[in-house]
């Protein structure tokens, strides 16, 4: 684990192509926002790790389908049958996108959080869960009914695998076990050694679920190549912000568990008993955990995004994103006051997610100035990964300044960081403007006064 001053990557941004357009157009790319200092500017959306903007392709596909929207499953009408076909076709698209095994099951949920809570509800009796403290809360918190072993933040990918190996070897039971790990950190963007962790889990008779919320929008995810048992991810981070998510993987634990939600769609047959009770026969496939009216528009949008990313070509997308990462890292390296947060070290491969702190600045104040004075949207706080960010920052608050961190506990107002994140819809100009803004704010200070209102740092008016 380290907190390092940003340094340029091996490939110099100066040698990279200038003005490369975003390979996948997104909605909002021409939206202008007012500046507190006067005038307007095109909004630079650099908070993809929270919610990526919708791809134009996704929006167009949703708009084309919307007039044909109908109920999914069991409807006799044409629109219902068309919607059902669309819904089930999306399931096949997602399975192909994830390179699932033939026997794997794709269950549609609301989000990664929902997916992992579904899996938590399906754990066999006595199951032990192993999870690193570095996880997003969506992966850290759902396992309340299980015996959970929290693993310390590893300083290297090798030690991540070694830590898991030792924890699994020390088990004192033959009960089922599950490992939960992220593919890419939502704080540092660093890639985790998923193949090695999966091999360690399986060598000790455990299963593994991959939180791919931050990985799937940036890199191809193959269930078979990574050898994971389940994958969870969200549509709203995959350029399809219409309330959909996925849990894909082995069917046996899901089939053996009571339905995650009880209701229509999950039940095959319901009958009254003579004693006044109700007998229920539940579905055994994906429908078992998809009670209620399915979010067919969200699922259609998710499938559209999967197709768009695949058709654009992962080699092209990853190369372009690395170009942006190099530009940001090199730009921040020119500002000595900036420290980039890192778990595995500055040379670790990563996706387009970087978090940092600025000497002499409260991070919430800095993020507010980026927005109000430059039209740049980033994230500040603890990023729903409080243990990790506190570990990376060393638990020592900086000078609090006039604005506090919205997610911090009382007495930790300044224990927060700034996160910049980007992806396939980000033009060069947005990251270049961000780098210029960081330099100007550090060297010249904010042009406006700020105050705390409702827990947020905002321009004083």
Provide the annotated active-site residues.
384
Six token digits for residue 85: 């076909």
Six token digits for residue 263: 């209701």
- DSSP letters along 51-94, please? -PPPBHHHHHHHHHHGGG----SS--SHHHHHHHHHHHHHHHHH
User: Cα–Cα distance between 253 and 246 in angstroms, integer?
Assistant: 16
Residues 199-238: b if buried by 16+ CB within 10 A, e if exposed? bbbeebebbbbbbbbbbbbbbbbebeebebbbbbbbbbbb
Sign of CA dihedral 338, 341, 346, 352: negative
Angle, helix 56-65 to helix 296-312, in steps of 10 degrees: 140
Closest-CA residue to 187 (of 106, 263, 255, 132): 132
User: Side-chain half-sphere of 110: how many Cα atoms within 13 Å?
Assistant: 10
Residue 142 dihedral angles phi and psi, to the nearest 5°: -70, -10
Q: Answer whether 332's CB lies under 8 Å from 438's CB.
A: yes
User: Cα–Cα distance between 240 and 247 in angstroms, integer?
Assistant: 16
User: Cα–Cα distance between 52 and 235 in angstroms, integer?
Assistant: 9
What pairs with residue 354 in β-bridges? 420
Six token digits for residue 177: 């076990």
User: Cα–Cα distance between 424 and 321 in angstroms, integer?
Assistant: 7
Q: Answer whether 379's CB lies under 8 Å from 426's CB.
A: no
Question: Pairing state of beta strands 456-459 and 379-381?
Answer: unpaired
Q: Answer whether 101's CB lies under 8 Å from 227's CB.
A: no
User: Cα–Cα distance between 78 and 84 in angstroms, integer?
Assistant: 10
Strands (DSSP E) found in 218-374:
230-234, 245-249, 267-272, 278-282, 338-342, 353-358
């Amino acid at each position: 684990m380290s907190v390092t001053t940003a340094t340029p990557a091996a490939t110099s941004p100066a040698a990279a192509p200038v003005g490369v357009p975003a390979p996948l157009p997104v909605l909002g790319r021409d939206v202008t926002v007012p500046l507190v200092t006067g005038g307007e500017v095109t909004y630079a959306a650099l908070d993809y790790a929270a919610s990526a903007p919708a791809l134009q392709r996704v929006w167009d596909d949703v708009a084309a389908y919307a007039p044909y929207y109908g109920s999914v499953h069991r409807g006799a009408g044409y629109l219902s049958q068309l919607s059902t076909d669309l819904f089930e076709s999306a399931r096949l698209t997602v399975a192909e996108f994830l390179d699932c095994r033939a026997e794997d099951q794709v269950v549609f949920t609301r989000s990664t959080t929902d997916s992992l809570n579904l899996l938590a509800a399906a754990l066999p009796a006595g199951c032990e869960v192993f999870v690193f403290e570095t996880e997003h809360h969506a992966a850290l918190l759902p396992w309340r009914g299980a015996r959970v072993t929290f693993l310390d933040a590893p300083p290297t990918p090798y030690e991540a695998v070694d830590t898991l190996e030792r924890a699994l070897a020390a088990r004192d039971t033959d009960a089922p076990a599950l490992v939960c790990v992220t593919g890419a950190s939502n704080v540092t963007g660093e890639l985790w050694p998923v193949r090695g962790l999966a091999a360690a889990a399986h060598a000790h008779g455990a299963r593994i679920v991959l939180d791919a919320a931050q990985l799937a929008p940036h890199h191809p995810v193959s269930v078979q190549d990574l050898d994971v048992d389940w994958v969870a991810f969200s549509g709203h981070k995959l350029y399809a912000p219409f309330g959909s998510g996925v849990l894909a993987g082995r069917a046996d634990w899901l089939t053996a568990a009571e339905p995650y939600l009880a209701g229509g769609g999950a039940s095959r047959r319901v009958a009254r008993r003579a004693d006044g009770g109700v007998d229920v026969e539940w579905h055994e496939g994906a429908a078992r955990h998809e009670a209620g009216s399915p979010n067919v528009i969200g699922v259609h949008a998710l499938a559209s995004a999967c197709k768009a990313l695949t058709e654009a070509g992962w080699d092209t997308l990853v190369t372009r994103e690395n170009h942006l990462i190099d530009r940001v890292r090199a730009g921040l390296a020119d500002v000595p006051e900036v420290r980039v947060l890192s778990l595995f070290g500055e040379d670790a491969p990563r996706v387009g997610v970087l978090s940092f702190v600025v000497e002499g600045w409260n991070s919430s104040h800095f993020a507010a100035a980026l927005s109000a004075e430059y039209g740049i949207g980033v994230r500040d706080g603890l990023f729903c990964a409080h243990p990790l960010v506190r570990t990376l920052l060393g638990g020592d608050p900086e000078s609090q300044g006039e604005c506090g961190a919205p997610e911090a506990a009382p007495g930790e107002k300044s224990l927060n960081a700034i996160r910049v994140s980007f992806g396939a819809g980000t033009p060069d100009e947005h990251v270049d403007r961000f780098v210029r803004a960081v330099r100007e704010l550090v060297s010249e200070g904010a042009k406006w006064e700020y105050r705390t209102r409702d827990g947020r740092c905002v321009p004083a008016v």
